[in-house]
Amino acid sequence: MKKQILAGVLSATMVVGMGGVSVFAADNADDKTYNIGICQLVQHEALDAATQGFKDAITEELGDKVTFDEQNAQGDSNTCSTIINNFVAEDVDLILANATPALQAAQAGTDTIPVLGTAVTEYGVALGIDDFNGTVGGNISGTADLAPLNEQAAMLKELFPDAKNVGLLYCSAEANSQYQVDTVKAELEKLGYTCEYYAFSDSNDLATIVTNAANSSDVIYIPTDNTAAANTEIINNICQPAGVPIIAGEEGICSGCGVATLSISYYDLGYKTGEMAYEILVNGADVSQTAVEFAPNVTKKYNVANCEALGITVPDDYVAIE
């Protein structure tokens, strides 16, 4: 009988003890802090907004339990690789790769740390995945900034139905820019336009290539190209005096040198990426099973000053860029 009582006491003690361990484990989970590495390709309006949206989403959930190591590669792909390698050495909890070259560097740099991309146009193209089905697999997922390219071509047709020659201006070093201009070219040719590629390698030959494009084009199309986005003043100073309008792939480029764009909110895109990060870090979501997300809405927008300067009147369903 005494043995039974003693056994019962020991059993109860073990249950309490195990319960105590469980409570401590929960407390430790609640006290966990996270270090997130952010690699942003270059500073410009769209990427800045995506980074801010990401940080806001995470901070709203975790407060001071999250810290960010935020690095800017100043437009250099090799610097992206260096930044990612430093994050791997620091053993950060998650990496945000903002723009395609940053994501490519993260893919090469780690296959264990969760990586979320943002402001990446097409993940299959960026990461060399044939027959991409919407889920990258491995340690990578994220959000895409692709506005429907057929609708961008339709916008050009809507605004410039009498144009004949369209120049496709983009950076040849950016794989997703090549994908966009190839796709838009096919759509525009269906609509009866003659298209010509004008590829610059970096900001050093940009002015020369833009001048060639402006001299030979009725309209210019620029995709969501990071080098172009960081150099809109150069582009505008050449194209506007030449009287050549630009359809842009995103709002930041449009506000700098374009007349119209099919726009997404990069802040909202980054915010969505932050929500995905929270699910992975805190709730245990499997990044390998997490599908790439897209911007929920697109809006036709126009640059008031540039449209006035070029004598362009847009339809009533276009919204002015503020």
Helices marked H in 91-166: 100-109, 123-127, 149-159
255-290: pLDDT as tens digits: 999 999 998 999 999 999 999 999 999 999 999 999
Q: Count how many Cα atoms sit within 13 Å of the Cα of residue 275 in the half-sphere of its side chain.
A: 9
Two tokens, residue 51: 């980074």
266 close to 119: Cβ distance less than 8 angstroms: yes
Query: Is residue 117 pLDDT above 90, yes or no?
Result: yes
**Helix, strand, coil content of the chain in percent (nearest 5):** 50, 20, 30
Per-residue model confidence (pLDDT) at position 296: 75
Per-residue model confidence (pLDDT) at position 249: 95
48 close to 270: Cβ distance less than 8 angstroms: no
Residue percentage of the chain with pLDDT more than 90: 87
Per-residue model confidence (pLDDT) at position 3: 41
Give the residue carrying structure tokens 């980054």. Answer: 270
Domains of the chain, with CATH numbers?
30-145+265-291 (3.40.50.2300), 149-263+299-320 (3.40.50.2300)
Give the residue carrying structure tokens 């940009």. Answer: 206
> Which residues have CB under 8 Å from 270's CB, separation 6+?
49, 50, 51, 52, 53, 54, 55, 56, 57, 98, 118, 119, 143
Task: Specify the pTM.
Answer: 0.79
Per-residue model confidence (pLDDT) at position 24: 34
What is the rounded CA–CA span in Å between residue 264 and residue 54?
Answer: 15
How far is residue 201 from each of residues 245, 277, 287, measured CA to CA in Å?
22, 34, 34
Region 201-217: mean pLDDT is 96
Q: DSSP code of 39?
A: E
Which residue would you say has higher pLDDT here, 2 or 145?
145
Per-residue model confidence (pLDDT) at position 11: 42
How far is residue 140 from each of residues 108, 133, 268, 282, measured CA to CA in Å?
11, 14, 20, 17
Two tokens, residue 142: 């994220």
Which residue would you say has higher pLDDT here, 134 or 22?
134
Query: Is residue 12 pLDDT above 60, yes or no?
Result: no
